[in-house]
Amino acid sequence: MPLFDWTNNVAVTHNFWLYWALTLPFTLMVFLAWTLSLWWREQTQREEADTRNAWSRNSSVSDDQPPYTVTVEYRS
């Protein structure tokens, strides 16, 4: 089922609409999937960074931060 008929004066056959009917939706689906994958990657990287930051704040053993100290004063 060729889309072009080079033997006639009109090179495009009556099935040429099928090209656009398939190409446009598939192209839109590819761009949507690509955009969603970029968004998903950004979200997971942000969540991982937040988890790493929370873990380093709550960890008592950290190379880059001194451990938190708590001072308790008793008044009599």
Tens of pLDDT, residue by residue over 26-44, are 999 999 999 999 999 999 9
d(CA 68, CA 18): 67
Residue 53 has a pLDDT of 76
CA-to-CA dists, residue 55 to 18, 32, 59, 60, 66, angstroms: 55, 34, 6, 10, 14
Boundaries of every domain in the chain: 28-55
Confidence (pLDDT) at 66: 57
Q: What is the pLDDT of residues 39-76, one digit of tens each?
A: 999 999 888 888 877 766 665 555 555 566 677 777 76
Using a cut of 0.85, tell me whether the model's pTM lies above it: no
